[in-house]
Homo-oligomer: A and B are copies of this chain.
Amino acid sequence: MQPVTTGASLTNQVTDMLRAAITSGEMRPGEHYSAIGLSQRLGVSRTPVREALQLLEKEGIVRIEKNRGVRVIQMSLDEIVQIFQIRIILEPPAAARGAEAATDEDLRHIQVLHGRILDAAAAGDGPRTLQADKDFHLFLLGLAGNPRLTDLDRELRNLVLTRGLVTIPNTRSGQDLADDRREIIDALLRRDCEAVALAVRAHVTRTAKLLITGVSAHTPGLSADEYLLKIDQLSRHCQ
């Protein structure tokens, strides 16, 4: 956790720093933290820390316990499923619309972003891969021209990041995800919107299943099956 610099308001800086500390694993789920301790570590007063924590609570990343401190939320499988159910509904149509609206310039940029994922993956850099993957997808969604949807999706992705870091890095599954993305790119270059939607949906679904299987494997006495079934329970009804 770095001390603050200058520029944006302290509250916003602190919010970003705490979010980064959580997604990087520096602040661990289930652990207890105090606003006063965090403010000392960051070299600021309690007020901006407190405000940052309230914003993060609204995002669903931490829970403030009255007069007790704050706890990084341990995302349950139930919640992970909920988040992916939403992503599976939202992302395919948005990506398809993005494909429709993309300029040639955009398509070139997409390929650059894709290259970065491959580089990071080849270097075995898990966090960088994850970040590059996020950049890739969010850029594609952004082309749909609905910034609110893009922001929403970013937030949903942030929510599961802490679990993702632990479980995704796995060569086998990494290859599968790379194949998915290849398919998305191909469909994009053909400007085949329907195929883009399908490929994105397959990709997100696969990510969800990997995550759920991984988390349940780390948690004794928890069966993944029940949760795997729920993943596309909602999206089945996308006409």
Contacts and interface: CB of A to CB of B under 8 A. Distances in A.
Interface in A96-122: 96-97, 100
A172 interface: no
Q: Which of A144, A234, A238, A239 has the most CB of B within 10 A?
A: A234
Contact of A93 (B50, B55, B197, B238): B238
Contact of A146 (B9, B90, B234): B234
A183 interface: no
Nearest to A85: B146
A235 interface: yes
Copies of this chain: 2
A237 B199 CA distance: 13
Nearest to A90: B89
Interface in A49-94: 50-51, 54-55, 58, 60, 66, 79, 82-83, 85-86, 89-90, 92-94
Contacts of A92: 237-239
Interface residues of A, number: 40
A54 B11 contact: yes
Given A89-B89, A146-B86, A94 B54 contact: no
A96 B54 contact: no
Nearest to A235: B93
A148 B82 contact: yes
A197 B239 contact: yes
A37 interface: no
A198 interface: yes
Contacts of A86: 90, 146, 148-149, 152
Contact of A237 (B97, B152, B233): B97
17 contacts: A11-B54, A47-B47, A51-B51, A51-B54, A55-B58, A58-B58, A85-B149, A89-B90, A89-B93, A89-B94, A90-B90, A93-B237, A97-B236, A193-B237, A194-B237, A197-B238, A239-B239
Given A97-B234, A97-B237, A194-B239, 10 more contacts: A11-B54, A50-B51, A54-B55, A82-B146, A89-B90, A89-B93, A90-B90, A93-B235, A93-B236, A97-B233
